[in-house]
Chains A and B, each alone.
Chain A
Amino acid sequence: MRDKLINLKINGKKYQITVKSNTLLLNLLRELGYTDPKYGCGIGECGACSVLLDGQLTLSCLTLAISCDNKEVITAAGLSEKDQLHPLAQSLIEHAAIQCGFCTPGMIIAGKSLLDKNPNPTEEDVRQYLRGNLCRCTGYAPIVEAVLDQARKSKS
């Protein structure tokens, strides 16, 4: 098959859509208006395109859209509820962990994925988990602090 009709849920919304074999999930998402996952490197090095695919942290630049039949994608924007930002996004703002913001959607997705698995991470855990997400602006310290702070807040 060179193209295929797939069923895909994106941030809670259902799609039935024909995709070509060589369409990448990242490009499909962006064409559908989900522009929070970013194209940074296209070769798995930067994490800007990170999404949750059936709950798993995944790079959408190295995922074929055609392989996502009957799967569910969540992007960073999909974590917010109505006008309420996801607490981790809020925490990044409070820690001035966003400068240009290009890495932010990937950081939010990776950070959430970490906190789902490990609600009490150490600083080393956070740095290890986010090591595939590059940031050219902040120097990482405020991002790491924002994730740690969010973990502390959700405990109390």
Chain B
Amino acid sequence: MNTNTKILPLEFEYYEPENLDEALELLSRFKERARIIAGGTDLLVKMKRELLKPEVLISLSRISNLKYIDEGEGSLRIGAGTPLSEIENNPTVERSYSALFEAVRSMAAPAIRNMGTIGGNLANASPACDTAPPLLVYGSSLKIKSKGNERVVPLEEFFLGPGITVLSPEELIAEIQISQSEPPKGSAFLKLGRVSADIAKINVAVYLKREGKRCSCCRIAFGSVAPTPLRIYQAEKMAEGEIFEEQVIKKVALECQKQIKPIDDVRSSKDYRVWVSAILAEEALKAAWLRSEGSL
């Protein structure tokens, strides 16, 4: 395809609502003719390539009450319009939500992290999306709004396929919610890309809880190994209740390798992804365990 990425080929109507209600009103008026633009780092690239041709853009950039990080004991609420760099610079995220911190840190480069938002990352629904694996292992939910309506959807049920989610054209993500009984100390995220700033060939997040030498709770999620980011329940179960040592970790990591169903694409091959998944899982499991103050 002959693309000129210097310009946006098509004009559109542009709206910049100042508050959420106005944005929801516009969405219900224009429906599938409209697209939301948050940071634009995914959307504008697709529009330049003419993969998307929206007639109307509704910008979230001036809606200040979509940009916040509210912290409670073990809970975190993040406005969907919050730039990735604000999440990266939040001390609570850095201290208690290591997997999310590491995921955001690994993304693109500082300029894109200033522009791109967490809501945009999820709504874009790339199988390689970096914030999904950590948010999946924290058991996150999304607050989704449309004019006069609100629903809360577990992140696990949000993705339907590459670029496809449960969102209707009239809906937007308002908030990302993490609610745990305590801050999820023992978590880690790892990603393999071609170069450090790259989109993932494969990524993984782990969250563990510890009771003495035993693992009392284990959650593992992979990206880029299926049409959507994915929890690996069968592997998680093999860790729970076990004394967490080398042998168990290896067994759990190999189960991850068995469960994933990656494909060949431009970023990597199926074989490489399968091969490397066990190594990545093992390292993430160990890092999360050490962070929960377990010994190895």
Given known contacts A21-B57, A62-B44, A110 and B11 CB-to-CB distance under 8 angstroms:
no
Chain A residue at minimum C-beta to C-beta distance from B39: A62
- A62, B40: Cβ atoms under 8 Å? yes
- A132, B9: Cβ atoms under 8 Å? no
Whether A99 is near chain B, meaning CB under 8 Å from some CB there, is no
Interface residues of B in 36-89 (CB under 8 A from A): 37, 40-41, 44-45, 48, 57, 59, 61
Residues of A contacting B13 in the complex (Cβ-Cβ under 8 angstroms): 1-2, 21
Most chain B CB within a 10 A radius of its CB, from A23, A44, A69 = A44
Residues of A contacting B111 in the complex (Cβ-Cβ under 8 angstroms): 44, 47, 50, 57-59, 110, 132
Residues of A contacting B59 in the complex (Cβ-Cβ under 8 angstroms): 67
Whether A43 is near chain B, meaning CB under 8 Å from some CB there, is yes
Majority SS at the chain A contact face: mixed
Whether A42 is near chain B, meaning CB under 8 Å from some CB there, is yes
Whether A113 is near chain B, meaning CB under 8 Å from some CB there, is yes
Residues of B contacting A131 in the complex (Cβ-Cβ under 8 angstroms): 109, 196-197
Given known contacts A62-B40, A64-B40, A56 and B7 CB-to-CB distance under 8 angstroms:
no
Whether A14 is near chain B, meaning CB under 8 Å from some CB there, is no
Most chain A CB within a 10 A radius of its CB, from B8, B9, B111 = B111
Binary per-residue interface labels of chain A (144-156) against chain B in the complex, 1 for a CB within 8 Å, 0 otherwise: 0000000000000
* Min distance, Cβ A19 to any Cβ of chain B, angstroms: 10
In the complex the two chains form, what is the Cα distance from A56 to B45 in whole Å? 20
- B5, A41: Cβ atoms under 8 Å? yes
- A47, B115: Cβ atoms under 8 Å? no
Most chain B CB within a 10 A radius of its CB, from A27, A57, A110, A128 = A57
Binary per-residue interface labels of chain A (11-25) against chain B in the complex, 1 for a CB within 8 Å, 0 otherwise: 000000000111110
- B115, A1: Cβ atoms under 8 Å? no
In the complex the two chains form, what is the Cα distance from A22 to B112 in whole Å? 20
Residues of A contacting B6 in the complex (Cβ-Cβ under 8 angstroms): 27, 39, 42, 61
In the complex the two chains form, what is the Cα distance from A59 to B114 in whole Å? 10
* Min distance, Cβ B61 to any Cβ of chain A, angstroms: 6
- A132, B108: Cβ atoms under 8 Å? yes
Residue of B4, B10, B57, B110 near A132 (CB, 8 A) is B110
Whether A63 is near chain B, meaning CB under 8 Å from some CB there, is yes
Given known contacts A4-B14, A42-B48, A58 and B115 CB-to-CB distance under 8 angstroms:
yes
In the complex the two chains form, what is the Cα distance from A114 to B6 in whole Å? 27
Residues of A contacting B15 in the complex (Cβ-Cβ under 8 angstroms): 1
- B110, A20: Cβ atoms under 8 Å? no
In the complex the two chains form, what is the Cα distance from A61 to B112 in whole Å? 11
- A62, B9: Cβ atoms under 8 Å? no
Residues of A contacting B41 in the complex (Cβ-Cβ under 8 angstroms): 44, 62
Interface residues of B in 154-186 (CB under 8 A from A): none
Interface residues of A in 25-77 (CB under 8 A from B): 27, 39, 41-44, 47, 50, 56-59, 61-64, 66-67, 69
Residue of A27, A66, A110 near B14 (CB, 8 A) is A66
9 extra interface residue pairs, beta carbon distance < 8 Å, beyond A22-B7, A67-B16, A131-B196: A20-B11, A39-B6, A47-B109, A57-B111, A63-B40, A64-B14, A67-B14, A69-B16, A114-B110
Which 10 interchain pairs have the tightest Cβ spacing?
A132-B109, A42-B5, A22-B8, A21-B14, A57-B111, A131-B197, A56-B114, A22-B11, A62-B44, A131-B109
17 contacts between A and B (CB under 8 A): A1-B15, A2-B11, A2-B14, A21-B14, A23-B8, A43-B45, A44-B108, A50-B111, A58-B111, A59-B115, A61-B6, A62-B44, A64-B44, A64-B57, A67-B16, A132-B109, A132-B110
